[in-house]
Amino acid sequence: MTVSRKTAERVPLTRERVLAAAGAIADADGLDALTMRRLAEDLGVEAMSIYYHLPNKDAILDGLIESAFAEIGAEVGGSALSALAPAGSWHGALRARILGARRVMLRHPWVPALMESRSVLVPTMARYIDGTIAIMHDGGLSFDLIHHSLHALGSRMYGFAQELTMDGDSDAAPGGDDLATMREFVPHLAAMLEDVVHDDPDSTLGWCDDQTEFEFGLDILLDGIARRSVDERARR
Amino acid sequence: MTVSRKTAERVPLTRERVLAAAGAIADADGLDALTMRRLAEDLGVEAMSIYYHLPNKDAILDGLIESAFAEIGAEVGGSALSALAPAGSWHGALRARILGARRVMLRHPWVPALMESRSVLVPTMARYIDGTIAIMHDGGLSFDLIHHSLHALGSRMYGFAQELTMDGDSDAAPGGDDLATMREFVPHLAAMLEDVVHDDPDSTLGWCDDQTEFEFGLDILLDGIARRSVDERARR
DNA sequence: ATGGCCTCCTTACGATGTAAGTATTACGCT
DNA sequence: AGCGTAATACTTACATCGTAAGGAGGCCAT
């Protein structure tokens, strides 16, 4: 009985199980809740047991980034995508790719913060970047322009641009007293707030549509890059 | 003697002295080195003494952001700057302002990471944003467009855009063996690296000029915003 | 002198990541 | 079946962190 119970119950700990549990904790309670002890508890195991499968916590964090980009890879359809894009429409293909990555980020809001804290290039992340470069290069951009564009896109390339990191309530519109003191010390900011809120009266709190903001900034960047690509061609 | 020594030596602890020492630690040894005990040691005091002047460590971190933006305010010339800008040249004024903020960030490389970890709006930071809005509004942009533009600019508005966070060596060009494996798994990324490095052979390591990248992305954004401003006017 | 503040110090606690050493389990071999 | 060995999980302990709670010394007005 002891034997059968044990063989039935005991699911062996693996790198994958650890990473899956870690991701679940981050999804549910945020990155701060992801401690070795909490992780072990969720796995039905003692904290130090994890160290047999992963060298340290940083390896877990890097593994989480790896998993996230694996999910992004599944979402955006891998490297075969660039073949589907008609020549010249790199613009739309890249747009779709980035918005695909963004969908994954929205499912796992802790990824942006994690990426900024650990500056590493895990394999699945490298492949994502590689696919992005492929789209642009197939579209006729020079590597030099692509290189600059990646810098210009910055974290937007991964489907986020800082606002994802902030919680929703931090963008809440200020109330009456706050606005009064604001008008004194930061008059232009106050004026903008009033103007924007008045234009869209049903949004007294959470007055920014993140998705709209994101696409606005994204399109400016994409337009600017496209314009520079034309210039580059004309010069040759 | 005891009396004179004490009155002469004893410089009273103040919020300002604490923040100055904290900034010095961050400048010298990075944000991780800034612990309450280390800070106390540098001040010639015990750790808990600091808590009489500041409620907790978060208050110190927020104070550091405040100081940084005070420094930026001094660098970019305060709110009087918008009056100096000729009408219509908001573009250049904003550019100068952002590059001024960037100079401060380069002096204190820990500020970007700190700003991302703490999502608060301290007074001096609010004034910086307010001045930025003033420049754009004086230039004829609608508050709606300004609002969108601030989102589009994102952290670039503060003079950085993620690359500041990374250390120099993380951008080092990969060597022979690395490149070989890269060609297999991330061919386009490898191709771009080779192309870019070949174009500029004297930069085998640190092959990206941060300042150039920054201005490239910045100009794309500014051009795109300007174009949208024209559209907005034409529609009226 | 004495009481009361302002300022700083002492001690201690609960988290956290993890080094070092130990126990247990699973499995191939006889 | 019994045993040895390697793979796996556990126990204990430590350094470091932020900070709660209360105490100690100096200063000034009375």
Name the H helices within A43-201. Answer: 57-76, 81-84, 90-107, 111-117, 123-138, 143-153, 176-185, 187-199
CA distances from residue A12 to A17, A47, A49, A143 in whole angstroms, order as listed:
9, 15, 11, 46
pLDDT score for A153: 92
Identify the CATH number of the domain in which residue B18 sits: 1.10.10.60
Exposed/middle/buried for residue A96 (C-beta within 10 Å: 0-12, 13-18, 19+): middle
For residue A173, report the phi and psi dihedrals to the nearest 5 degrees: -70, 140
Structurally, how many domains does chain B consist of?
3
* B76 and B106 share one domain: yes
* A122 and A218 share one domain: yes
Residues of B in contact with A116 (CB under 8 A): 113, 116, 162, 165
Residue bearing the bigger pLDDT, A33 or B12 = A33
pLDDT score for A85: 58
* A155 and A232 share one domain: yes
Domain residues for the domain of A29 are: 1-55
* B116 and B73 share one domain: yes
* A195 and A81 share one domain: no
* A202 and A216 share one domain: no
- Token pair for residue A55? 């060298």
Angle at A204 between CA A203 and CA A206, to 5 degrees: 70
Distance from CA of A224 to the nearest CA of B (A): 5
Tell me which H or E stretch contains A215.
Answer: helix A210-235
pLDDT score for B82: 52
B147 touches chain A (CB under 8 A): yes
Per-block mean pLDDT, blocks of 10 residues, chain B (236 long): 40 92 98 98 96 98 98 82 64 93 95 91 93 93 89 91 55 65 88 77 59 86 90 86
Phi-psi region of A101 (alpha: psi -120 to 50; beta: other; left: phi over 0): alpha
Residue bearing the bigger pLDDT, A199 or A41 = A41
Q: Among B123, B144, B151, whose Cβ lies nearest the Cβ of A217?
A: B151
CA distances from residue B197 to B167, B175, B183, B193, B201 in whole angstroms, order as listed:
19, 12, 15, 6, 6
* B69 and B128 share one domain: yes
* A17 and A99 share one domain: no
- Token pair for residue B21? 């020492």
* B199 and B222 share one domain: no
Distance CA A65, CA A122 (A): 7
Identify the CATH number of the domain in which residue A225 sits: 1.10.357
Distance CA B110, CA A215 (A): 29
B198 touches chain A (CB under 8 A): no
Residue bearing the bigger pLDDT, B56 or A145 = B56
- CA A8, C1' C22: Å apart? 26
